[in-house]
């Protein structure tokens, strides 16, 4: 009986240790350097676009599948958009998204990783200076970037995200974002 009990305790302890190594949860936040690509025409008038600086924050998980490969799903609140101007007007269009990137992480070393993956984003808010609510409610995009583990728990990431679907119902524009993040894994 003692041998069975000891074997069960060892099995449970080993399983818990293995699971702790396979799945890690954490938080991350950072800055967005966002812009919108494409032509910006409103009611036949052309506008110049400038980027905006905004933020992102949320939850992250890392699922280690192989020694040098992991999948990192995230749940982020991310603001994106641009500033539009012509000879007469200037206005800012800021879009708040619930973004769900799923990144494939290829570890080049124990600390340095290459990351690539798709992202689905759902529009939560739209702030602009001209009271036109014309943003699409869903956006699909691709992300690519680099990650670096400073310690076992602390990491930094740099990523470029390109929207593949139009961000506006009335203009041919797509979101383009550079994200710099810092995070902590528990």
- How does the average pLDDT of the chain come out, rounded? 86
> If we measure between CA atoms, which residue out of 78, 87, 85 comes closest to residue 33?
78
Integer CA distances (angstroms), 25 to 73, 75, 102, 105, 136, in order: 10, 11, 14, 15, 31
Mean pLDDT calculated for residue range 126-154: 87
Give the pLDDT confidence score for residue 64 in this predicted structure: 95
For 33-90, the pLDDT digits (tens) are 999 887 665 556 667 778 999 999 999 999 999 999 999 999 999 999 888 877 677 7
Give the pLDDT confidence score for residue 12 in this predicted structure: 47
Confirm whether pTM is higher than 0.85. no
CA dihedral of 114, 151, 184, 179, whole degrees rounded to 10? -40
Q: Is 70 exposed, middle or buried (0-12, 13-18, 19+ CB in 10 A)?
A: buried
For residue 16, pLDDT over 50 is answered with no
Please give the biggest Cα pair distance in the chain: 86
Give the pLDDT confidence score for residue 8 in this predicted structure: 45
Terminal Cα distance for the chain, rounded: 37
């Amino acid at each position: 009986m003692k041998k069975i009990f000891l074997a069960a305790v060892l099995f449970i302890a080993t399983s818990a240790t293995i699971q702790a190594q396979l799945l890690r949860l954490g938080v991350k936040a950072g800055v967005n350097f966002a812009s919108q690509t494409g032509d910006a025409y409103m009611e036949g008038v052309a506008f110049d676009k400038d980027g905006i600086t905004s933020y992102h924050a949320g939850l992250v998980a890392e699922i280690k599948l192989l020694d040098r490969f992991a999948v990192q799903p995230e749940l982020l609140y991310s603001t994106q958009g641009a500033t539009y101007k012509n000879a007469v007007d200037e206005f800012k269009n800021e879009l708040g998204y619930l973004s769900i990137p799923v990144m494939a992480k290829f570890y080049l070393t124990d600390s340095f990783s290459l990351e690539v993956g798709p992202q689905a984003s759902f529009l939560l808010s739209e702030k602009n200076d001209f009271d036109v609510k014309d943003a699409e409610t869903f956006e699909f995009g691709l992300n690519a970037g680099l990650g670096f583990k400073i310690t076992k728990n602390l990491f930094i990431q740099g990523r470029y995200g390109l929207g593949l679907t139009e961000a506006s119902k009335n203009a041919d524009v797509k979101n383009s974002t550079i994200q710099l993040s810092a995070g902590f894994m528990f």
